[in-house]
Chain A
Amino acid sequence: MSKTLRELWDKCAESFSDKPAVRWIENKDIKEKSYKELDTNIVKIRKGISAQGLSNTHIALLGISSVRWVEAYFGVITGKNTAVPIDAALAPADIIDLLNRSDTQGLFIDPRFAALVPHIRQHCPKVKKLWTLADEAIDGTQTVSDLMADGEGSEDVAAPQEDDVAMIIYTSGTTGKSKGVMLLQKNLFTNVEALAIGPKPGVVFMSVLPVHHAYCLVMDWLQGFQMGAVLCINDSLLHIVKNLSVFKPHVMLMVPLMIETIYKRLRSAGAKMTPEEVRQKIFGGNLKRIYTGGAHLDPYYIDEFAKYDVLVLEGYGMSECSPVISSNTESHYKAGSVGKPLPNVKIKFSESGEILVHGSSVMTGYYNMEKETEETLKDGWLHTGDKGYMDEDGFLYINGRVKNLIILSNGENISPEEIETKIALAPIVSEVIVTGDDNALTARIFPEPEAAASMSKDELKAALQQILDEYNKEQPTYRQLSRLIIRKNPFLKTSTRKIIRAKVDTDE
């Protein structure tokens, strides 16, 4: 048996054929597709891509979670191409940059991003084909139905090899540029295999995380399908609690921010209702397990959710590891830890306590970034940038970071340098540091002394706020700068004139 996603998917399609695979809301109705129906479209899409002359190339997906997105994604990864899932919330210039840097030649695009198509046509010369993820094509694109029709009657595409790159997934870089993590077919396959949850046909998942994230793609979709689960798509962040009652999931994957929000509802409802009423009203009645990762979760929430018979299982991972490195399970569980490493993963610690990972899920490198690859992968060991330790029972704990990334409780990793280089372009800004406080980003700015001296305090504040507003306008919510601190003194620096980040609030 080859360790490819074609192998994984074909087995799902065969084993769970008539069982429901996906449910979603469309015009207030719940729609459903079986594994067989999904498979029919997946095969047609990969044949269509091949018929249009794209093989051994990169195909990006731009959109929010939808059954069409998922079919297109599986159409790519079960064939001879590499999928490049892109965060649709990014600024248009960043999306164009990623399409160019990833050498994307084909793009599936959700109709809500139709306004980007002329820009992509103009600025991404390598993108030859665009397909709209809807029944009606955006101007200058084809529909997925057109694509499928082109493949009709042709032979199926050969299966990928274990060492083919299945996916390039972009993650925040500390050098100001996001990095394309190259994950091989076998990396993703063995991550799902090592999770070893086993088939449970009919178990209901509700997918609430952004579909372009490795955590969502592997833990919800690949793992869910491997189990024969029904994947229910949450249609909006506004509707998570409502949709828990609509879909009544047994299992969910969440980032800590979501657990914190649901807890607030529990706290309020718990004062007025019995635990069973809360289970029904807040959790939809069937929820048993929540997997969480992406950021640290206070163990307090685990105890609070346990009162309603909902087990919160924290894990640890990163895109570079496909992504799960360790996870608590029902049988091996310690609150506050991130569980035991998966069986296909070895962990050791550097002298400074950094967690190093080796194993079959570890990426092959960053796309077209040799220097960054060499810095991260040394002698086959991935340097995670996180510090931690293991207890006597083999449970892993995280207690700090080596790299300079801000981890928000929605699981987004923010590279402060990436934002600082943009803000520092304003002539009025002398020095800027971005920090994460209470789950939001703060810009700490030391203004140019001359400019500052020529303005009143209010004028200076307004001028700096305007710079932040300009930046925020094009950014997704989680990357916006929501607070401004104006420093009276320059930042403290090392002897090599680098700002000491650990002391950015000194002498403010």
Chain B
Amino acid sequence: MEERFKELAAQYCTIDAKDITNDMTFRDDLGFSSLDLMTFLGDLEDEFDTEFELGDDEQKLSNMRTVGDAIEFLKSYID
């Protein structure tokens, strides 16, 4: 799952999927804008056939700092 996650994340940056590590931050290390992160989360919904709840959760998504944070978040939906 993590491998596919990083392949999708690599679409938004110039770093190869294999070089993305869990401690990297979306904004400073990967250069994501807030909208890149939102769109990427939309890709994750499609890829892993899940639906993130909006409302309060949307705030949580936008505050997600690291790749590891987002992987844990995704796991909480698909486990």
- The contact string, 1 if C-beta is below 8 Å from chain A, for chain B 1-30, is 000000000111100000000000001000
**Contact A261/B27 with A238-B42, A241-B42 known, Cβ cut-off 8 Å:** no
Within 8 A of A (CB), among B26-61: 27, 33-36, 38-39, 41-43, 45-46, 52, 54-55, 58-59, 61
Q: How far is the CA of A241 from the CA of B52 in the complex (A)?
A: 16
Chain A nearest Cβ from B23, distance in angstroms: 18
Q: Does A352 contact B (CB under 8 A)?
A: no
Residues of B within 8 A of A332 (CB): none
Smallest CB-CB separation from A477: which chain B residue?
A: B62
Smallest CB-CB separation from B38: which chain A residue?
A: A237
Query: Are the C-beta atoms of A268 and B38 separated by less than 8 Å?
Result: no
Smallest CB-CB separation from B52: which chain A residue?
A: A238
Residues of B within 8 A of A240 (CB): 39, 42
Query: Are the C-beta atoms of B36 and A238 separated by less than 8 Å?
Result: no
Q: How far is the CA of A175 from the CA of B10 in the complex (A)?
A: 42
Smallest CB-CB separation from A472: which chain B residue?
A: B63
Q: How far is the CA of A268 from the CA of B45 in the complex (A)?
A: 19
Residues of A within 8 A of B52 (CB): 238
Query: Are the C-beta atoms of A236 and B54 separated by less than 8 Å?
Result: yes
Smallest CB-CB separation from A482: which chain B residue?
A: B27
Query: Are the C-beta atoms of B39 and A265 separated by less than 8 Å?
Result: yes
- The contact string, 1 if C-beta is below 8 Å from chain B, for chain A 242-277, is 100000000000000110110011001100000000
Q: How far is the CA of A472 from the CA of B33 in the complex (A)?
A: 17
Q: Does A457 contact B (CB under 8 A)?
A: no
Query: Are the C-beta atoms of B33 and A257 separated by less than 8 Å?
Result: yes
Chain A nearest Cβ from B51, distance in angstroms: 9
**Contact A261/B39 with A238-B45, A478-B34 known, Cβ cut-off 8 Å:** yes
A112, A238, A440: residue with the most chain B Cβ atoms closer than 10 Å: A238
Q: How far is the CA of A284 from the CA of B12 in the complex (A)?
A: 19
Q: Does A200 contact B (CB under 8 A)?
A: no
Within 8 A of B (CB), among A110-148: 112
Chain A nearest Cβ from B41, distance in angstroms: 5
Within 8 A of B (CB), among A452-508: 472, 477-478, 482
Q: Which of B12, B39, B45, B55 is close to A237, meaning CB atoms less than 8 Å apart?
A: B39
Smallest CB-CB separation from A262: which chain B residue?
A: B39
Residues of B within 8 A of A241 (CB): 39, 42-43
- The contact string, 1 if C-beta is below 8 Å from chain A, for chain B 55-79, is 1001101110000000000000000
Q: How far is the CA of A268 from the CA of B12 in the complex (A)?
A: 8
Chain B nearest Cβ from A337, distance in angstroms: 25
Query: Are the C-beta atoms of A258 and B27 separated by less than 8 Å?
Result: no
Query: Are the C-beta atoms of B42 and A236 separated by less than 8 Å?
Result: yes
Q: How far is the CA of A258 from the CA of B35 in the complex (A)?
A: 7
Query: Are the C-beta atoms of B38 and A238 separated by less than 8 Å?
Result: yes
Q: Does A239 contact B (CB under 8 A)?
A: yes
Q: How far is the CA of A221 from the CA of B39 in the complex (A)?
A: 24
Query: Are the C-beta atoms of A242 and B12 separated by less than 8 Å?
Result: no
B11, B12, B35, B42: residue with the most chain A Cβ atoms closer than 10 Å: B35
Chain B nearest Cβ from A2, distance in angstroms: 40
Chain A nearest Cβ from B24, distance in angstroms: 16
Q: Does A410 contact B (CB under 8 A)?
A: yes
Q: Which of A238, A264, A477 is close to B11, meaning CB atoms less than 8 Å apart?
A: A264
Residues of B within 8 A of A112 (CB): 54-55
Residues of B within 8 A of A477 (CB): 34, 59, 62-63
Residues of A within 8 A of B41 (CB): 238
Query: Are the C-beta atoms of A257 and B35 separated by less than 8 Å?
Result: yes
Residues of A within 8 A of B34 (CB): 257, 410, 439-440, 477-478
Query: Are the C-beta atoms of B54 and A439 separated by less than 8 Å?
Result: no
Chain A nearest Cβ from B77, distance in angstroms: 13
A237, A241, A269, A439: residue with the most chain B Cβ atoms closer than 10 Å: A237
Residues of B within 8 A of A478 (CB): 34
Query: Are the C-beta atoms of B27 and A440 separated by less than 8 Å?
Result: yes
Residues of A within 8 A of B36 (CB): 261, 264
B10, B13, B27: residue with the most chain A Cβ atoms closer than 10 Å: B27
Q: Besides A269-B11, A409-B33, A477-B62, 18 other CB < 8 A contacts? A: A112-B55, A236-B42, A236-B54, A236-B58, A238-B41, A238-B42, A239-B45, A241-B39, A257-B33, A257-B34, A258-B35, A260-B33, A261-B35, A261-B36, A261-B39, A265-B12, A410-B35, A472-B63
Using CB atoms and an 8 Å cutoff, list the residues of chain B in contact with chain A.
10-13, 27, 33-36, 38-39, 41-43, 45-46, 52, 54-55, 58-59, 61-63
Using CB atoms and an 8 Å cutoff, list the residues of chain A in contact with chain B.
112, 236-242, 257-258, 260-261, 264-265, 268-269, 409-410, 439-440, 472, 477-478, 482
The 10 closest A-B pairs by CB, nearest first: A238-B42, A268-B11, A477-B62, A237-B38, A261-B35, A264-B12, A239-B42, A261-B36, A257-B35, A238-B38
A-B contact pairs, 8 of them (CB 8 A): A236-B38, A237-B38, A238-B61, A240-B42, A257-B34, A257-B35, A260-B33, A440-B34
